[in-house]
Structure 1
Amino acid sequence: MNDIHIYVGDLLIISVFPPALNFLVLSVKHIQIQTKKDKMASQEQILREVNILGPLNEQTRKVISKEATVFLALLHRTFNKTRKELLQRRETRQAELDAGKLPDFLPETKHIRDSDAWKGAPPAPGLADRRIEITGPTDRKMVVNALNSDVWTYMADFEDSSAPTWDNMINGQLNLYDAIRKQVDFKQGEKDYKLRTDRKLPTLIARARGWHLEEKHFTVDGEPISGSLFDFGLYFFNNAQELVKRGAGPYFYLPKMESHLEARLWNDVFNLAQDYIGMPRGTIRGTVLIETIMAAFEMDEIIYELRDHSSGLNCGRWDYIFSTIKRFRQNPNFVLPDRSAVTMTSPFMDAYVKLLIKTCHRRGVHAMGGMAAQIPIKTDKEANDKAMAGVRADKLREVKAGHDGTWVAHPALASIAAEVFNEHMPTPNQLHVRRLDVNIKQYDLLNMNVPGQITEDGIRKNLNIGLGYMEGWLRGVGCVPINFLMEDAATAEVSRSQLWQWCKHQAKTAEGQTINKEYALKLLHEQAEELGSKAPKGHKYQLAEKYFATQVTGEQYDEFLTSLLYDEITTVGSPAPASKL
C-alpha cells in the first residue's frame, strides 16, 4: 500500500502509512496525496531547515537516519509551541507562590479525583512485576552491567544521571539500540562485557529529559529541539517495533512534570508516535516521576491524562525535596534543616508517599519507591554493614507502605532489596493494597515542620556534593560517586537550593553564625580549594565554583543547574543539513 503524504499549505508535515491517519486533529487548508515514488522529494521538503550541529559517524548514523530526523522534525513542529506555553505556565505559577498563594488540589478537576469509573491501563508485557529496578546512565558498560544484574527492570537514563553532551546522548541511543537487539557485547582492555544468556533480561525503560531541557545539537526551523522529544523520538522510532517483536514494548519514565497538562502533552506525543508507525494506541507505557511539589496535588489527573499509557507513578525523593525548596524559596515558613535531617519519614515526605500509593492502587497502576544510592564500601566492613542495614530498612519501609517496587543505583544492592520485597511481597505487585486508611489534605503535603538544625558541617557537606557533582558534570559525567553515595543532579540541586534558602532568610547555624552572602562564599571557596587540591590535573573545580557562587547567595536563582551549565558541555559545530544524511 502506498504511503500518504500530508500537507498544510505548501509544507509537508508527515508521511504516514494509511492506518495511521486517525492521529490528525489539524485545521488544514488542503491535503495533497502523493505516491511512494515522490518519497525522497518529500523528505527533502520536510527536512528543510533541519540541521544537525553535532558530529556523526557510521555507527551513530544507525540511530539518527534521515527517516528518524523526519520524525523528530514532525514532533518539534507539532508540539514545541505547547511545550513552551507550559513552561511559561510554570513561571506564572511561581509568581503566584512568591506572592504567598499556596498550592492545593484543583477544584476544576475534582470530578476526576472523585470518580471511581476510570482506571489506568493494565500492566504491559514485562511490567507486571517491577520489584527491583536498577537505574543509571546509558554508556555501554553500564547498559551491559545493568542488564546483567539480578533485577526486574532497568531504567536507562538520559536525564539526571547523564550529562547531555552530544556524544553521551547519541551514543546512549546507539547502546540501547544494540542492547535491544542483543548485539551490545564489547571488550574494554582485557575485560569482556557480554549480556547474560542464562535468563530473560530485565525489561528496559528509557528516561527522557524533562520538558525544560533542549538539545542544541539538533535544530528545526532555527530552534533547538526539546530534549524530551529528541530522546523519546529517537528511542521510539528506532526500537518500538523491535521491542514489541521481542515481547516487550516502548516504555518510558517521564521526569520533572509539574501539572496534568504536561502529562496531556506527553499523551498527545504518544498517540501521534504510535499512529505514525501504525502501532496500536496504548502500546507505549509511561511511568511518571512525582518529583515536584506541584505535581503531588495532581496525581489523579496525571494518571487520568495518560490513562491508556500509564504504568504508574514513582517517588523521586531528592528531586521532590529540591522542588519543594525551589517553589517556596521566598517563604520563610518553608526553611528546612540540614539535608541529613530530611528523611522519608519527615511529615511532608511521608504524606506524599502515602498519597502516591493510595492514588496509584485506586487507579490500578504501580506505585514505585525511591532510590537507594549507596555504593558498597569495600575497604571498611563495619561502615559497609551500617550502610547496607540502612538500605534494608529503607526498602522495608517502602514495601510495608505498599510500594510495588523500588530503585537501586548499584547491582550489589539488588539482592538486599529483592530479599526484602520477596519476603513481604509474594505477589508480582501490591495493586490490591488500597490504603483506605490514608486521607491526605493540603496541609499534610505542605507540613515542613522537620526537626533538626542547620550546622556548618551540613553546609560544607552541601558544598562538597554540589561542587563535586558540578565538576563531574562539566567533564561530561552525570553520575558521580561522592562519599560512597551515587549522586546525580537531584542531590546537587537540593544542596544549592538549601544554601540559597538559608542565605535568603539569614538563617542561623547551631553554632550561632548568621548565614549570609559573605559567609556562604567564604565556605564555598574553602571547599573548592580543598577539593581542587586533591583532584587530578585538568579538573573543573574552579569553573564549578564560579557557577555555584551565583546560586548560593540568596540572590540569583536558576530553575535548574543543568540548564545553567549546559552551554559549557555543548560542542555545537557548523550546521549540517539533515537532508544530506
Structure 2
Amino acid sequence: MTIDLEFRSGVLADYADVYTPEVLRALEALAPLDARRKELMALRLARRKRRADQGERIGFLDPGSLIPGTQIRVADARAGNFDGAVIPPDLQRQWIQGTGPATKPRSDLRSGLRNVAYALLSGADGWMFDGEDALGQVDTMSLDNHRNLKLAIARDPRFLEVAEEVAAEMNQWAQGFFGHPIIADWRAQLDFTTVIYRVRGLHLEDRHIRRAGHGFSASIADMVLYVVNNYRRLQEAGRSLVLYLPKTQTAEDAAYFNSLLLALEAHLGLPVGTIKCYVLVEQIEQCFQLMEIRAALSPHFVGFNTGRWDYINSVSDALSWDPAFVNPNISSITMTYGYMRTYEDRVRRAMNTPDRNGRFALWQGGMEPNIPVGSEAGVSASMKRAVAGAEREQREGASGKWVAHWKMVHIVRPVWERAGQDNQAGRAFPALTYTPEDAAGLMQLEPAPRTIAGARDLLSVALQYGNAFLRGFQAAALKPADFFGNDDVLYLMEDMATGEIRLSILWEWIHKGARLTEADAETGCAAGEAFTLELFARLLEEEYAKLRRAGNRDVHDDSKDTTLPIARAIVRTYVQSAVKAPWYVDLLNLNLGVENLAEAEARITRFLETFRKDGTRLTENLDF
C-alpha cells in the first residue's frame, strides 16, 4: 500500500492484477507531480477568465521568451532548433488508426475482451485504446479497460479463445459486405496492429484514487497503469510504447506531460524517449504554439492528430465572450470551413518543419465516424463520403486518419494503399508564420446556415449523448431523433466531444442573440429572428419528448425515468447559465451512478454556484 494515496474500497483486492505492487510504487513515485497539474489547471481557468473579462484574444508567444517549464526559447522551437524523436518502425506507417475502449459498460470479462479482439483483428495499422472520451467511467470501467488490454497484450489464453471466435464473425460480415474474408490467419493478424493508449486529460481526476483527501490526476493514473503493466511484454515483442495525449492547451501543458514521461522512464529504468506520444490538437491555443509543443515534448513526440468536435468546442469556448463570434449549424463546420481550414493547414506545416537533425513528425488526420450499417442506399452514400474525405486528407498531406469502428478500416485504408507511401513526413509546405493575419485565420467565420433544424440536431444528440454517458456508454451510435427509423440516415459513432460542442454552440446562440438564417414553418420563426431562451426551452421539451417516445433501440427504456431526465437537467442548466461552464463532462462525471433527479439537480446547482463564485471546478468523485 502506498503512503500518500487512498483507493476506493475494494479496488485493490478486486483489481490486484491491475494495481500490482510495481504499479503502486510507480503511482507513489509520480504522485508528487500532481501538485503541478493542479497549478496548471488553475492557470488555465485564470487565462480563460482574464480573456473573457478583458475581451482578449489568444495570441502567439513572444519569440524571445522561454517556453514555460523548459529552457527552450520560443524562437528556437519555431526554427526546429531542438532534437526531435526518432519515429520507430511500427509508427512509420499508420495509414488507419482505429479508436475505441477495451471494454463495455458492466460487462463480464469475455464480453469486454471482444472489444480488444475486434480492434486488433481489424486490419488497422494502429488502434488507440481509449481511456478518455470514448470510455465510460461508471463503476470500474476504467480498470476493466486496463485489465482487458493487459490480458490481450500478454496473449492470455482467455483472450485468444475470444479472438478466434471474433475473427470468424468478422470474416462472415466481410464475406457479405465485400464478397471475401478480411482475416487469413487470425493469430498473425493480432500482431499487425500497433497498440496505442489515450490517457485522460489533465483536467480530469481519477474516480478510484485520491491523494491527501483530494482528487488525483487521471492522466497520471492512466499513464502508469498502461505503461507499467505492459512495457515488458511490448518490448519483448519488439513493439513501441505509445500514448495519445489529449486536451493540452499550451506548450507549458506539454512540458508538464514531458516531465511525467521522463519521471516514469526514470522510475522504470527505461532510456529517455522510450515512451512515444502523439498529441491531439483539440484546443485552439495549441495552434498558436504547435512548434513549441513539439519542442517541449522532445524526445517523445512523434505526431499531431487533427480532430474535429473537440477543436470546434475549444474555439467556441475561447471566444464565448465575443458577441461577434457565432457558429453556424454544426453540419457546416467541416474541415474545409473557415477557422478549421486554417487549423489543419498550420498542423501540417508544423509537422513538416524539420528539427536540427532533419527529422519531421507525423500528421494523423481526423475521425471518420460513419458505420456501414443501414439501408443499401444510405450505406452507399455514406461510404462514398467517407472515402472522399479520406482522399482529401491524403491529398492535403496526412499520413493517415482515424476510424471509429472496425468495419470502416477496409473501406478507408485503400486510399493510402493506392498512394503507397508509408507516410508523408517531409512533404514540402510553406513555413509557419506568426502574423496578425495568421491569428485572425484561426478564428475566421464564413457564411453558413443557422436553422431550427440545426438547433434540433444540436439538442437531440446532446441529450442522447448525456444519457448514454450516464449509462456508461461514453461512445455511442447516435443520430437526431427525427431520423429514428430512417435507415437511409446512418448512425454516427460519437464520443464526449460531440456533446461538448453541441452545448457550446447552443450556449452561443442564446447568449449572443444569434439570428436564424431561414424561416421555419413548424415553429413560426422567421429568417433573421433571434434564437431566444424561450425558443430553446420549447425545442428542448419537444426533442426530449421524442426521446421519451423512442424505441429501446434508440433510447434504452431503462433510462427514460432515470438518467434521461438528468441529461435534460444538465443540458437545460448548462445552456441557460449566463456564466458558461468550460466542460459538459464535468457535470456528467459529477452525476455518474446517480438516478435520482433531485440529487442530480442539487449537484448541478452546487457545481455552477461554485464555478460562478470563484472559478473552481468540482471534479472529484463525490461518491468515493
Q: Secondary structure at the match of 2:38?
A: helix
Structure 1 match to 2:592 = 569
Distance 2:540 2:207 in 1: 31
Whether contact under 8 Å (1:517, 1:554) holds in the other structure is no
Structure 2 match to 1:455 = 451
Structure 1 match to 2:49 = 95
Aligned with residue 386 of structure 1, among 381, 384, 408:
381
Q: Secondary structure at the match of 1:332?
A: coil
Distance 1:54 1:142 in 2: 27
Q: Structure 1's 110 and 64: CA in aligned 2 closer, same or farther, altered over 3 A?
A: closer
Deviation at 1:54, TM superposition (A): 4.9
Stretch of structure 1 that moved more, 57-66 or 300-309 = 57-66
Alignment of 1:85-164 (within 5 A): 85-98=39-52, 99-107=54-62, 108=65, 109-139=73-103, 140-164=113-137
Structure 1 residue runs of 5 or longer lacking an equivalent are 1-43, 576-581
Distance 1:57 1:136 in 2: 26
Deviation at 1:274, TM superposition (A): 0.7
* Aligned residue type for 1:386: A
Distance 1:312 1:304 in 2: 12
**1:408-429, Cα deviation, whole Å (9 max, x unpaired):** 11122212221111222x2211
Q: Structure 1's 574 and 48: CA in aligned 2 closer, same or farther, altered over 3 A?
A: farther
Structure 2 match to 1:84 = 38
Distance 1:247 1:444 in 2: 45
Is 2:321 the partner of 1:367?
Answer: no
* Aligned residue type for 1:157: D
Superposed CA RMSD in Å reads 2.3
Deviation at 1:95, TM superposition (A): 2.1
Is 2:532 the partner of 1:532?
Answer: no
Deviation at 1:70, TM superposition (A): 2.6
Alignment of 1:191-340 (within 5 A): 196-199=186-189, 200-340=191-331
Distance 2:432 2:25 in 1: 48
Distance 1:446 1:275 in 2: 38
Deviation at 1:164, TM superposition (A): 1.8
Distance 1:333 1:217 in 2: 43
* Aligned residue type for 1:85: E
**1:469-522, Cα deviation, whole Å (9 max, x unpaired):** 100000111101013100111111111100000000111222234212221122
**1:1-29, Cα deviation, whole Å (9 max, x unpaired):** xxxxxxxxxxxxxxxxxxxxxxxxxxxxx
Aligned with residue 446 of structure 1, among 416, 436, 442:
442
Whether contact under 8 Å (1:558, 1:564) holds in the other structure is no
**1:159-211, Cα deviation, whole Å (9 max, x unpaired):** 111122242100000011011111252778x9657992133330001000000
Deviation at 1:110, TM superposition (A): 3.9
Structure 1 match to 2:106 = none
Whether contact under 8 Å (1:550, 1:556) holds in the other structure is no
Q: Structure 1's 87 and 144: CA in aligned 2 closer, same or farther, altered over 3 A?
A: same
Deviation at 1:60, TM superposition (A): 2.4
Whether contact under 8 Å (1:341, 1:450) holds in the other structure is no
Q: Secondary structure at the match of 1:177?
A: helix
Stretch of structure 1 that moved more, 308-317 or 563-572 = 563-572
Q: Secondary structure at the match of 1:551?
A: helix
Distance 1:444 1:422 in 2: 37
Q: Structure 1's 357 and 545: CA in aligned 2 closer, same or farther, altered over 3 A?
A: same
* Aligned residue type for 2:370: Q
Q: Structure 1's 565 and 95: CA in aligned 2 closer, same or farther, altered over 3 A?
A: same
Is 2:525 the partner of 1:518?
Answer: no
Q: Structure 1's 574 and 84: CA in aligned 2 closer, same or farther, altered over 3 A?
A: closer
Distance 1:185 1:216 in 2: 27
* Aligned residue type for 1:329: S
Q: Secondary structure at the match of 1:217?
A: strand
Stretch of structure 1 that moved more, 323-332 or 429-438 = 429-438
Whether contact under 8 Å (1:259, 1:295) holds in the other structure is yes
Distance 2:5 2:433 in 1: 51
Distance 1:296 1:179 in 2: 36
Structure 2 residue runs of 5 or longer lacking an equivalent are 66-72, 104-112, 169-184, 355-359, 480-490, 520-525, 595-620
Deviation at 1:554, TM superposition (A): 5.2
Whether contact under 8 Å (1:479, 1:486) holds in the other structure is yes
Q: Secondary structure at the match of 2:416?
A: helix
Q: Structure 1's 473 and 187: CA in aligned 2 closer, same or farther, altered over 3 A?
A: farther
Distance 1:556 1:366 in 2: 38
Aligned with residue 503 of structure 1, among 502, 506, 510:
510
Stretch of structure 1 that moved more, 134-143 or 490-499 = 134-143
Quick one: percent identity of the two aligned structures?
Answer: 27
Q: Structure 1's 116 and 217: CA in aligned 2 closer, same or farther, altered over 3 A?
A: closer
Aligned with residue 486 of structure 1, among 471, 479, 493:
493
Structure 2 match to 1:432 = 426
Stretch of structure 1 that moved more, 84-93 or 364-373 = 84-93
Aligned with residue 392 of structure 2, among 370, 388, 397:
397
Distance 1:350 1:438 in 2: 15
Q: Structure 1's 59 and 203: CA in aligned 2 closer, same or farther, altered over 3 A?
A: farther
TM-score, normalising length: structure 2: 0.81
Distance 2:461 2:203 in 1: 23
* Aligned residue type for 1:530: K
Q: Secondary structure at the match of 1:225?
A: strand
Distance 1:181 1:251 in 2: 16
Whether contact under 8 Å (1:481, 1:487) holds in the other structure is yes
Distance 1:290 1:436 in 2: 20
